[in-house]
Amino acid sequence: MNVLLVAAILAVGSAVDVKLNNHWNGGFQAKACIGITKELHSWTAHLRFDQAVDSLDIWTADAKKADGGKEYVLTNKAWNADEHVGDQLCLDFVAHTTGDITPTTTLEIEGMAGGVAPTSGSVTQGTGPTKPHLVATIPPIPHTGGGTARYDYGESLAKSILFYDAQRSGKLPANNPIPWRGDSALGDKGDNGEDLTGGWYDAGDHVKFSLPMSSTSTVLLWGYLQWKDAYATMKQTDMFFDMIKWPLDYYLKCWIPATETLYAQVGEGNDDHHFWGRAEDMKMARPAYKLTPSKPGSDVAGEIAASLAAGYLAFKERDAKYAATLLSTSKEIYAFGKKYPGIYSQSISDAGQFYSSSGYKDEMCEGAMWLYRATGDKSYLADAKGYHENAWAWALGWDDKKIACQLLLYEATRDTAYKAEVEGFFKGWLPGGSITYTPCGQAWRDKWGSNRYAADAAFVALLAADAGIDTATYRKWAVEQINYILGDNKYGISYQIGFGSKYPRSPHHRSASCPDRPAPCTEANLHASGPSPQVLVGAIVGGPSNDDSYKDNREDYVHNEVACDYNSGFQSALAGLTHLVHANALPAVPAPKCHG
């Protein structure tokens, strides 16, 4: 949502008007940024509404409700207590309301000049002299609106959720929205009989690899936390939580604290890949592979810790008890990764055949930063700085989190060194940099999942734009990359299955290639011509070659594989674009180079 904060240095006792232009039945979102003109080592803000607000979601402050919901008193987290002259203090919140309301909203910050009115209601402010408040001017955010959406990003987002539902392993709930999927892999167990059912199948196969899975869930949660309004306006919030709880529950099962054991894979890769059939019909053994103090894997530990900490932030207002479990487990798994450093694919050789990890510092940095966001404990920030790598990232991907680490550090510290790293990343990715561009305009990083890498980079671009880094340029580029996947390409097809009228019909996906039960499904279905019997709604296929060429062929797993991590940055970028559409802030982009 595009929020206009109209602010000026006003007389004592006045307040900043926070003007909203995006709301829905049950809530609204706003973001206010105020320039700091005096050194602060703690701060208190007052949000006042002329109509009652039921509850407030805000991760940059602790909020206390007052005056029946007409006021919220916000106090700093431990990690953002210090604000320096020249900084900006940004407060981004989602309000939950009864009905569709657009209340007049004001913001006051104590500690600068002038006076602040006493707090209404039951929140006490302590004794001593009344502190003055700040009403400050902020620099204008670059205007990036004026564009018209070529595609329905919200519809695409909703369909992406369904892909993850199709990847579920274990006993499915009564509300399973995928009619051709049933219970599967109910015997997944650890070495001592631990229940390891659940989680997501990795791709078109049936192995559960925890590194791509946890990378996927972290990116999905990041997009949700950044643009909750996108899910709310599309009425997809409940669907999102149903979707994301599936891997989070699985990670909780994978951690055995008494023995410092973290299960990181279920299913033997080669045996699995020799089976072509439904997940429900698997008969082969499914061994579990674990990390221990003598067989470490800090990359998996850091990434799972990141997902659980981000999960805490998502669930804390919805299910406080569950959120607390996510956070405590995140801390334990992070500590395990820190205490026993190592690369997981050197400990689990089977994983190394499929997802060989290049290092663990980036995932541990990410885990530390999400724990810092969740707790405000500055020791995690210090850890993240220690794990940080000063290099331009190759991509955002399941094995490369450097850009995520750098951007999270910049958001937390506003240190220009981290900003320069983010800018360096996009110097490589934007036209004129080191990335190959197809004739029709896709930023083509690699033949394996070119759609995935372009969408992941588009997601990072939208995050960086929100952080105030080259906002107009990055948003425009992100729109162009997502539009390419949805139809602005050589064939005018959507690379997302089920979106629009022209899309791939034969993805490299076992269960989707199978007819309805009880009809048999064998390797013959891999080689069968014609569309898959089941429509794998929401999945994006790997994508085109660097000349834009593409063939819809199930046997071509390079271009037609689907995978959990392929959709993660794509879905979160769609959330960002949906947010911009509803905020009337979608940038105008040139006519596509190709459109079929």
Residue 134 or residue 104, greater confidence:
104
**pLDDT band at residue 134 using 50, 70 and 90 as cut-offs:** very low
> What would the 3-class secondary structure string for 447-471 be?
CCCHHHHHHHHHHHHHHHHHCCCCH
Nearest residue to 444 via CA among 495, 503, 390: 495
Please report, in angstroms and rounded to a whole number, the separation of the first and last CA atoms in the chain: 32
Nearest residue to 46 via CA among 65, 21, 71: 71
Q: How big is the CA angle at 85 (ends 49 and 9), to the nearest 5 degrees?
A: 45
Q: Does one domain contain both 129 and 158?
A: no
Q: Is the pLDDT of residue 26 over 90?
A: no
For residue 45, the enclosing domain spans 4-134
Nearest residue to 542 via CA among 446, 417, 459, 419: 446
Q: What is the pLDDT of residues 279-314, one digit of tens each?
A: 999 999 999 999 999 999 999 999 999 999 999 999
Rg value, the chain, Cα: 24
What is each CA distance from 500 to 118, 398, 493, 577, in whole angstroms?
Answer: 55, 28, 8, 18
Identify the three-state secondary structure at position 90. strand
Q: What is the pLDDT of residues 75-94, one digit of tens each?
A: 987 667 877 777 667 777 77
**Residue 595 included in any domain:** no
Q: Stretch 240-268: mean pLDDT, rounded?
A: 98
Q: What is the pLDDT of residues 375-424, one digit of tens each?
A: 999 999 999 999 999 999 999 999 999 999 999 999 999 999 999 999 99
Q: Is the pLDDT of residue 368 over 90?
A: yes
Q: Does one domain contain both 125 and 183?
A: no
Assess contact for 543 and 436: CB atoms under 8 A. no
**pLDDT for the residue numbered 100:** 83
**pLDDT for the residue numbered 144:** 58
**β-pair type (133-134, 105-113):** antiparallel
Q: Stretch 425-454: mean pLDDT, rounded?
A: 97
Q: Does one domain contain both 118 and 189?
A: no
**pLDDT for the residue numbered 88:** 67
Least confident of 4-8, 35-39, 109-113: 4-8
**pLDDT for the residue numbered 59:** 61
**Residue 251 included in any domain:** yes
Tally the domains of the chain.
Answer: 2
Placement of tokens 């500590």 in the chain: 335
Q: Does one domain contain both 269 and 330?
A: yes
**pLDDT band at residue 124 using 50, 70 and 90 as cut-offs:** very low
**Residue 167 included in any domain:** yes
What is each CA distance from 187 to 179, 196, 277, in whole angstroms?
Answer: 22, 8, 18
**Residue 130 included in any domain:** yes
Q: Does one domain contain both 130 and 171?
A: no
Q: Does one domain contain both 244 and 202?
A: yes
**Bridge partner residues of 71 (DSSP):** 48, 66
**pLDDT band at residue 4 using 50, 70 and 90 as cut-offs:** very low
CATH number of 295's domain: 1.50.10.10
**Residue 547 included in any domain:** yes
Residue 132 or residue 241, greater confidence:
241
Q: Which of 70, 100, 134 is the last residue of a domain?
A: 134
The model carries a pTM of 0.81
Nearest residue to 6 via CA among 97, 94, 105: 105
Those residues with Cβ within 8 angstroms of residue 464's Cβ, 6 or more apart along the chain or in another chain: 407, 422, 426, 470, 474
Q: Does one domain contain both 317 and 368?
A: yes
Residue 287 or residue 25, greater confidence:
287
Residue 118 or residue 554, greater confidence:
554
**pLDDT for the residue numbered 528:** 95
Q: How big is the CA angle at 55 (ends 52 and 60), to the nearest 5 degrees?
A: 120
Q: How big is the CA angle at 27 (ends 370 and 568), to the nearest 5 degrees?
A: 40
CATH number of 67's domain: 2.60.40.290
**pLDDT for the residue numbered 211:** 97
What is each CA distance from 174 to 161, 165, 170, 236, in whole angstroms?
Answer: 17, 13, 13, 18
Q: Which of 134, 165, 187 is the last residue of a domain?
A: 134
**pLDDT for the residue numbered 146:** 73
Q: Does one domain contain both 290 and 376?
A: yes
Residue 162 or residue 143, greater confidence:
162
What single-letter DSSP state applies at residue 120? Answer: P
**Bridge partner residues of 444 (DSSP):** 436
Q: Which burial class, exposed, middle or buried, applies to 124 when counting CB atoms under 10 A from its CB (0-12, 13-18, 19+)?
A: exposed
Q: Is the pLDDT of residue 272 over 70?
A: yes
**pLDDT for the residue numbered 39:** 85
Q: Does one domain contain both 349 and 490?
A: yes
Those residues with Cβ within 8 angstroms of residue 518's Cβ, 6 or more apart along the chain or in another chain: none
Q: Is the pLDDT of residue 487 over 50?
A: yes
Q: Does one domain contain both 125 and 25?
A: yes
Least confident of 28-42, 432-446, 530-544, 571-585: 28-42
**pLDDT for the residue numbered 113:** 52
Q: Is the pLDDT of residue 235 over 90?
A: yes
What single-letter DSSP state applies at residue 548? Answer: S
Residue 251 amino acid letter: Y
Nearest residue to 224 via CA among 215, 237, 234: 237
Q: Which of 102, 134, 166 is the last residue of a domain?
A: 134
**pLDDT for the residue numbered 30:** 79
Instruction: Report the distance separating Cα 228 and Cα 581, nearest Å.
Output: 14
**Bridge partner residues of 27 (DSSP):** 24, 96
**Residue 144 included in any domain:** no
What is each CA distance from 506 to 43, 56, 115, 156, in whole angstroms?
Answer: 57, 45, 66, 19
**Residue 40 included in any domain:** yes
Residue 316 or residue 123, greater confidence:
316
Strand ranges for 221-296 from DSSP E: 255-256, 261-266, 288-291
Those residues with Cβ within 8 angstroms of residue 521's Cβ, 6 or more apart along the chain or in another chain: 276, 277, 278, 281, 510, 513, 514, 515
Residue 298 amino acid letter: S
**Residue 92 included in any domain:** yes
Q: Does one domain contain both 127 and 195?
A: no
Instruction: Report the distance separating Cα 306 and Cα 311, nearest Å.
Output: 8
Those residues with Cβ within 8 angstroms of residue 321's Cβ, 6 or more apart along the chain or in another chain: none
Nearest residue to 352 via CA among 236, 209, 476: 209
Instruction: Report the distance separating Cα 453 and Cα 80, nearest Å.
Output: 32
**β-pair type (261-266, 288-291):** antiparallel
**pLDDT band at residue 112 using 50, 70 and 90 as cut-offs:** low
Q: Does one domain contain both 97 and 167?
A: no
Residue 196 amino acid letter: L
Q: Is the pLDDT of residue 115 over 60?
A: no
Query: What's the mean pLDDT when you consider all of the chain?
Result: 89
Q: Is the pLDDT of residue 362 over 80?
A: yes
**pLDDT band at residue 593 using 50, 70 and 90 as cut-offs:** very high
Q: What residues act catalytically? A: 552, 561
